[in-house]
């Protein structure tokens, strides 16, 4: 099988695959999905064996980092079978890192198994430390369960990073509370601007929720000395170090800063659709060549190469003039976080 590295039209090597293994989740976060979601029929989802084969094809083409997403990846039945399957690529040296983004609700159950499979870092999405507000924004989540999961992950040896979506009027007043809480537990914290994806109705109007990270960063600077860091994690975050605590804070700013120039990643949905850009609707169906040729990976590899040849230079997200320009109609839970 051909193994030349994946290079997009702008000479960016593609070394990072974010793979959604399910559109299902045990939460209904208001900025991610509708309260009464209609989930995909199971037959449309890639099987665990197909997810393994798809991932292996990408790894053979130079992908070095594999992040598992959802929905909530740990609610997928028998998902640890997939993680254990990926261990062979870590052991062979073909894969540098296997990790996941999770809401933390299932971490207490799976933390030890994840570590045994070779996972060393996890990102946990957590927007508030207030139990009532947590229940409100997740529509059904239990904050105490998530906090127990984070403790279990750290006890298992996993490095935990907290991802918080910056939401105006919701968690603004928790900026320093979350920062101090993470510092006390030796966890880095990344703030994410809310993205214009999904239904933009009156209840969850992204414009009303939008809290620019330029403002958040200025508020941090009133208490801490912020030193910009040159490091990049293979993702879109820019980092600073808080000199008073040594803590690393990340900012993912797709709206106030276009981070596309060094993009090295693509996203695969749980149905086998490859999105070359989170903020564009261009996608490629890789499920068809995967299923049509169960004993031959050549058509799948050719389809992957063709898809990467159409990767755009960047996205079109923009909240200027109080309009969510570039809005994507699909929910984040479908594309993968």
Enumerate the domain spans of the chain.
Answer: 16-335
Q: Does 64 show up as a binding residue in the annotation?
A: no
CA distance 254 to 316: 9
pLDDT at position 192 is 94
Q: Does 182 show up as a binding residue in the annotation?
A: no
pLDDT in tens, 66-109: 999 999 999 999 999 999 999 999 999 999 999 999 999 999 99
Q: Does 239 show up as a binding residue in the annotation?
A: no
Q: Which tokens is 147 given?
A: 């906090």
CB atoms within 10 A of CB 42: 10
Q: Does 161 show up as a binding residue in the annotation?
A: yes
What are the start-end ranges of the E strands in 173-312?
Answer: 188-193, 226-229, 238-242, 247-252, 265-268, 273-275, 283-285
This prediction's pTM: 0.87
pLDDT in tens, 274-314: 998 866 667 899 999 999 999 999 999 999 999 999 887 77
Q: Does 101 show up as a binding residue in the annotation?
A: yes
Q: Does 270 show up as a binding residue in the annotation?
A: no
Q: Does 263 show up as a binding residue in the annotation?
A: yes
Residue in the structure block whose two tokens are 């006890």: 155
pLDDT in tens, 181-195: 999 999 999 999 986
Q: Is the dihedral of CA 281, 286, 287, 292 positive or negative?
A: positive
Q: Does 233 show up as a binding residue in the annotation?
A: no
Q: Does 67 show up as a binding residue in the annotation?
A: yes
User: What value does the mean pLDDT take over residues 150-172?
Assistant: 96
Q: Does 266 show up as a binding residue in the annotation?
A: yes
138, 196, 198, 331 from 34: Cα distances, Å: 11, 14, 8, 8
Q: Does 16 show up as a binding residue in the annotation?
A: no
- Kind of pairing, strands 159-166 and 121-125? parallel
The CATH class of the 16-335 domain is alpha beta
């Amino acid at each position: 099988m051909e193994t030349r590295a994946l290079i997009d039209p702008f000479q960016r090597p593609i070394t990072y695959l974010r793979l959604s293994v399910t559109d299902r989740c045990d939460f209904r976060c208001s900025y991610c999905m509708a309260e009464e979601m209609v989930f995909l029929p199971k037959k449309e989802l890639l099987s665990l064996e197909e997810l393994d084969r798809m991932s292996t094809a990408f790894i053979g083409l130079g992908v070095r980092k594999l992040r598992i997403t959802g929905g909530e990846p740990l609610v997928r039945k028998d998902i640890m079978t997939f993680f254990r399957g990926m261990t062979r690529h870590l052991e062979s040296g073909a894969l540098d890192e296997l990790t996941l983004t999770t809401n933390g609700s299932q971490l207490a159950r799976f933390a030890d198994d994840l570590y045994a499979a070779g996972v060393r870092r996890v990102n946990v999405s957590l927007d508030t430390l207030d139990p009532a507000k947590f229940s409100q924004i997740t529509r059904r989540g239990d904050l105490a369960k998530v906090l127990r999961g984070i403790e279990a992950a750290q006890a298992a040896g996993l490095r935990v990073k907290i991802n918080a979506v910056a939401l105006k009027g919701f968690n603004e007043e928790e900026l320093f509370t979350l920062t101090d809480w993470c510092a006390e537990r030796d966890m880095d914290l990344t703030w994410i601007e809310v993205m214009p994806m999904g239904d933009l109705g009156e209840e969850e109007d992204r414009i009303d929720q939008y809290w620019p990270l330029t403002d958040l960063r200025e508020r941090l600077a009133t208490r801490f000395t912020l030193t910009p860091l040159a490091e990049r994690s293979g993702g879109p975050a820019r980092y600073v170090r808080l000199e008073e605590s040594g803590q690393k804070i990340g900012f993912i700013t797709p709206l106030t800063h276009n981070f596309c120039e060094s993009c090295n990643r693509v996203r695969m949905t749980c149905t086998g659709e490859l999105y070359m850009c989170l903020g564009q609707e261009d996608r490629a169906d890789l499920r068809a060549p995967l299923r049509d040729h169960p004993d031959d990976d050549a058509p799948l590899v050719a389809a992957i190469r063709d898809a990467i040849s159409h990767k755009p230079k960047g996205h079109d997200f923009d909240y200027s003039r109080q309009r969510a320009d570039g809005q994507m109609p699909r929910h984040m839970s479908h594309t993968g976080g």
